[in-house]
């Protein structure tokens, strides 16, 4: 009897001890999310024209993925999938959003942030949002809700849409930062508001000229997509943006360090307009596009140094990735194309941002967690849509059947315990593709083959395409005609994934 009591007592002690330990050892999570950073843009993935020492430090101390993907080849759908664990192509209205769009994720829905919040994490998003705000016509002078705070984040400091879209103001929690009520902000994507100069009518006022689009309201000498007036005191200064948001990210870490925290740090770099702080200007030799890569790298350094200084590095899971592949000329005459030299932003992959070829979604991805993850390289196929289910597994939260319908638990791959990630992945641009192992099937698409403005191969073809990335990483030999059974099989599978509304088992 005594023996049994002792046994059960020690069992419960062990249980208390281990679950306490589990709670205690739950890592902080910092997701550093670059914008438009290509696979070949950083030195740890082969760039030689510039050096990215801080990103390389993550690669040396962590796991470097060579087959990791954003969920789509542009920002909004990629970020939608990242936060909801659902492929964006399942939902209408998830394409690139204007800056006055309503929030496209329903409040109350399970998101990456809500999963971690429910598990006791302090949660914050700092930087680019681009998923809409509010529930209809938005008055920027009032409370801006719903937004991240209604989706599981405790704190937000946002670039509401993109750096090249109005309104050019920061939003902190529910308010525009630094707004003078006597100078209200007005925004329109339909027609000019107020009498502010535009790039179209006043090109002499510009410090960088657009190459396509981007000729509406001028803010800080740069014409944008969309019109705005007012909010003069609240307008951002592009040159200071990287420092401003990095400081907010650092402050979030400093303030929340007492309990596990999750920080989603989504930089503006290296998106257009590429306007580095003067201390980075001219430093890369590749023009502003290279300079903002160095600026991004320096921001990564600030985050890593903060973790070191606070003694948090050992037990913080740092993930670095990018929302989509790279683009050279994305609408401003910033010398990105003329100064490119031998630099290959997409590395070995064909296409880039907007493209269904691998360059569209195959991005750098580094995972560092010194206490748990051994450094190395992983060829596992993983996608950012999987973070939701993988983080849920990490913090031992069960997902309801309807949560994260396309999010797979690839935690063993992320932590380097397994060489295998997904078996299949749907890649998204204006058409869809299905990856299965080395095979890649691109369904027939009606769109243009090339985006003339950005000079990107989009990968659209009216015929089906089938590539074997194992011996043809450049997607140069379309095998669909020769290997039609494989192509048909992958097509059937893609249509089945589409029909079923979900792909998580
Ligand atoms: C395009 C813009 C491009 C960029 C992109 C969104 C034009 C001509 N091009 O429509 O500059 O803003 O949208 O990029 O306006 S993303 O990374 O946020 O998806
Ligand atoms: Ca992007």
Mean pLDDT in residue range 200-227: 98
User: Which of 8-17, 23-32, 348-357, 448-457 is predicted least confidently?
Assistant: 8-17
Give pLDDT tens digits for 285-304: 999 999 999 999 999 999 99
CA 431 to CA 445: how far, in whole Å? Answer: 6
Residue range 357-368: mean pLDDT, rounded: 98
Q: How far is the CA of 281 from the centre of ligand 1 (A)?
A: 23
Q: What pLDDT score was predicted for residue 3?
A: 55
The pLDDT of 322-338, averaged and rounded, is 98
Architecture per CATH, 24-178+237-418: 3-Layer(aba) Sandwich (3.40)
Task: Count the neighbouring beta carbons within 10 Å of the beta carbon of residue 47.
Answer: 24
pLDDT > 70? residue 284: yes
Atom of ligand 1 nearest to the CA of 213: 8
**Range 246-270 average pLDDT:** 98
Centre of ligand 1 from the C-alpha of residue 215, in Å:
13
How far apart, in whole angstroms, are the C-alpha atoms of residue 105 and residue 102? 9
CA of 214, closest atom in ligand 1: 15
Average pLDDT over residues 96-124: 98
pLDDT in tens, 385-408: 999 999 999 999 999 999 999 999
| CA-nearest residue, atom 3 of ligand 1 | 330
pLDDT at 169: 98
- Numbered ranges of CATH 3.30.1120.10 in the chain: 425-500
Instruction: With a cut of 80, say whether residue 43 has pLDDT above it.
Output: yes
pLDDT (tens digit per residue) in 222-232: 999 999 999 99
Kindly tell me if the per-residue pLDDT of 12 is higher than 60: no
pLDDT at 10: 52
Q: How do strand 28-34 and strand 316-322 relate by DSSP bridges?
A: parallel
Counting ligands in written order, which one lies closest to the CA of residue 101?
A: 1
Query: Which pLDDT band holds residue 25 (cuts at 50, 70, 90)?
Result: confident
Residue 335 makes CB contacts below 8 A (sequence gap 6+) with 287, 288, 289
Residue nearest to atom 10 of ligand 1 (CA): 96
pTM score, whole prediction: 0.95
- In sequence order, the 6+-apart residues with CB closer than 8 A to the CB of 498 are 432
How far is 27 from 317, CA to CA, in rounded Å?
6
Q: How far is the CA of 272 from the centre of ligand 2 (A)?
A: 9
Question: What's the CATH architecture for 425-500?
Answer: 2-Layer Sandwich (3.30)
Q: Which of 72, 76, 164, 353 to mutate to test the pocket of ligand 1 (most atoms within 8 A of CB)?
A: 164
pLDDT(14) > 90 = no
Q: What is the mean pLDDT of residues 137-163?
A: 98
Domain with CATH 3.40.720.10 in the chain: 24-178+237-418
Provide the pLDDT confidence category of residue 213 given band limits of 50, 70 and 90. very high
Q: How far apart, in whole angstroms, are the C-alpha atoms of residue 321 and residue 111?
A: 18
Confidence of residue 18 (pLDDT cuts 50, 70, 90): very low
Q: Among residues 504, 384, 356, which one has the least CA distance to residue 443?
A: 356
Ligand nearest to the CA of 97: 1
Residue 173 exposed, middle or buried by CB count within 10 Å (0-12, 13-18, 19+)? middle
Ligand 1, atom 13: nearest CA belongs to which residue?
96
Q: Residues 310-319: pLDDT tens digits?
A: 999 999 999 9
Q: What are phi and psi of 251, to 5 degrees?
A: -60, -40
Q: Which atom of ligand 1 is nearest to the CA of 324?
A: 17
Give me the long-range contacts of 193-200 (CB less than 8 A, separation at least 24).
193/227, 193/228, 193/229, 194/227, 194/228, 194/229, 194/230, 195/229, 196/227, 196/228, 196/229, 198/223, 198/227, 199/223, 199/224
Nearest ligand 1 atom to alpha carbon 272: 11
Atom of ligand 1 nearest to the CA of 164: 12
With a CB cutoff of 8 Å and minimum separation 6, the contacts of 452 are none
Quick one: which of 263, 322, 249 has its CA closest to 292? 322
- Provide the percentage of residues in the chain whose pLDDT is more than 90: 95
**Does the pLDDT at position 23 exceed 60?**
no
Which 3-state string (H, E, C) describes 463-482? Answer: CCEEEECCCCCCCCCCCCCC
Protein residue closest via CA to atom 7 of ligand 1: 213
Ligand 1 binding pocket (C-beta < 6 A) is 35-36, 74-75, 96, 130, 162, 164, 212-214, 225, 271-272, 330-331
**For residue 99, how far is its CA from the centre of ligand 2 (angstroms)?**
14
Ligand nearest to the CA of 164: 1
Q: Phi/psi at 268 (nearest 5 deg)?
A: -75, -35
């Amino acid at each position: 009897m005594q023996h049994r009591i002792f046994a059960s007592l020690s069992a419960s002690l062990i249980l208390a001890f281990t679950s306490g330990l589990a709670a205690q050892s739950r890592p902080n999570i910092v997701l550093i999310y670059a914008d438009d950073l290509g696979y070949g843009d950083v030195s740890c993935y082969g760039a030689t024209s510039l050096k990215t020492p801080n990103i390389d430090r993550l690669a040396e101390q962590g796991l470097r993925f060579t087959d990791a993907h954003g969920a789509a080849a542009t920002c909004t759908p990629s970020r939608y999938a990242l936060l909801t664990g659902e492929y964006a192509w399942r939902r209408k209205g998830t394409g690139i959003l204007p800056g006055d769009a309503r929030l496209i994720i329903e409040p109350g829905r399970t998101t990456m942030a809500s999963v971690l919040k429910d598990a006791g994490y302090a949660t914050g998003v700092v930087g680019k949002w681009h998923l809409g705000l509010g529930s209809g016509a938005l008055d920027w002078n009032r409370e801006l809700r719903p937004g991240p705070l209604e989706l599981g984040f405790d704190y937000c400091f946002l670039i509401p849409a993109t750096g090249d879209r109005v309104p050019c103001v920061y939003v902190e929690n529910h308010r525009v930062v630094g707004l003078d009520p006597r100078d209200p902000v007005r925004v329109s994507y339909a027609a000019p508001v107020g009498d502010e100069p535009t790039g179209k009518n006043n090109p002499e006022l510009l410090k960088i000229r657009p190459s396509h689009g981007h000729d509406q309201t001028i803010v800080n000498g740069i014409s944008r997509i969309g019109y705005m007036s007012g909010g003069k005191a609240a307008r951002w200064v592009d040159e200071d943006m990287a420092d401003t948001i990095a400081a907010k990210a650092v402050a979030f870490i400093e303030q929340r360090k007492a309990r596990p925290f999750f920080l989603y740090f989504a930089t503006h770099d290296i998106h257009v307009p590429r306007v580095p702080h003067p201390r980075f200007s001219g430093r890369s030799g590749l023009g502003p596009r290279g300079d903002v890569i160095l600026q991004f790298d320096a921001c990564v350094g600030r985050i890593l140094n903060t973790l070191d200084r606070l003694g948090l590095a050992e037990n913080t899971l740092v993930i670095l990735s990018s929302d989509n592949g790279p683009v050279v000329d994305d609408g401003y005459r910033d010398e990105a194309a003329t100064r490119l030299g031998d630099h290959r932003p997409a590395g070995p992959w064909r296409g880039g941002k907007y493209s269904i070829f691998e360059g569209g979604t195959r991005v750098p991805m580094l995972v560092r967690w010194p206490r748990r993850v051994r450094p190395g390289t992983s060829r596992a196929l993983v996608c950012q849509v999987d973070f939701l289910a993988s983080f849920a597994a990490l913090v031992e939260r069960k997902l309801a059947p309807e949560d994260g319908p396309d999010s797979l638990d690839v935690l063993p791959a992320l932590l380097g315990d397994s060489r295998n990630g997904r078996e299949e992945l749907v890649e998204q641009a204006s058409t869809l593709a299905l990856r299965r192992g080395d095979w890649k099937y691109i369904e027939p698409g009606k769109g243009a083959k090339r985006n003339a403005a950005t000079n990107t191969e989009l990968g659209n073809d009216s015929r089906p395409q089938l590539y074997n990335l194992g011996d043809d990483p450049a997607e140069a030999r379309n095998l669909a005609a020769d290997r039609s059974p494989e192509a048909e099989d992958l097509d059937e599978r893609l249509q089945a994934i589409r029909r079923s509304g979900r792909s998580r088992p």
